[in-house]
Amino acid sequence: MSVKLIAVDMDGTFLDDNKEYNRARFAELYAQMKEQGIRFVVASGNQYYQLISFFPEIAHEISFVADNGGWVVSEGKDTFNGELTKQEFNTVIDHLLTLPHVDIIACGKRNGYTLKSYDDAFIKMARSYYHRLEVVENFSNLDDVFFKFALNLPDNLLDDTMDVLAAQFDGIMVPVTSGHGSIDLIIPGVHKANGLRILQEKWGIDDSEVVTFGDGGNDIEMLRQAKYGFAMANAPEKIKQIAAYQTGHCNEQGVLNVIERALKKEAPFNA
């Protein structure tokens, strides 16, 4: 069985800690992937507009599972997006605004939205992940399609807040960790693995022909779904335990090393 799809998370996985990757080496590997008919998919919690900025030359020919599966764009074409009802959006926002230590970004199709009342350091950090970010007075009457909330909070409150939100929003949204001090609220079932499944059905690709890479709680489903799920060396222990395979640190080109093995049909891709 040969590999037909390779999907990468970005932060802490494909990108190093400086938010960079070896562009020359990837360009060589990508040319070989195209020759072998292997699809390349970027599967990230980040905003679509931010993700395409990392791949200016090829964004029109690869696929993106953005906002943790909330929006799927394939070869420049809108393929899928989740959508909260107005009532669900208001239910979630009304509760989040009662949590004093939580900064909120409402993730829409056109923009991310956050509040003017938050401190400048948070807004600056948010802009690094959201190329389109609107700073607003409040979250009412926003005209957009919403499929995710990104929350920023102190690390020490993360676990308790996850539990509280899971109970509070049962059936409407699911909290997943997406890095230090951050939680994403996603629509149930609208995760990265669902985005990949949509693309796989479109292309006729089986889970046994898929390689995925990740390092966080929002990667769990796609690491489990693919036959070749690789956790990064820098991933938390619980992520390493659920992944079938491991690769090196994000600062040591762990993803590119495995892609090279897949292209050469070396272990474990030679079985």
Catalytic residue selected from 9, 16, 67, 184: 9
Distance between alpha carbon 132 and the CA centroid of its chain, in Å? Answer: 17
In degrees and rounded to multiples of 5, residue 50 shows phi and psi of: -75, -40
Q: Which two tokens stand for residue 208?
A: 């046994």
Angle at CA of residue 38, ends 12 and 210, nearest 5°: 60
Nearest to 196 by CA among 210, 183, 178: 210
- 120 as an active site residue: the answer is no
What lies within 8 Å, CB to CB, of 56 at 6+ separation is none
How many angstroms separate the CA atoms of 104 and 152, rounded?
7
Q: Which two tokens stand for residue 67?
A: 């906002």
In degrees and rounded to multiples of 5, residue 80 shows phi and psi of: -165, 145
The catalytic residue positions are 9
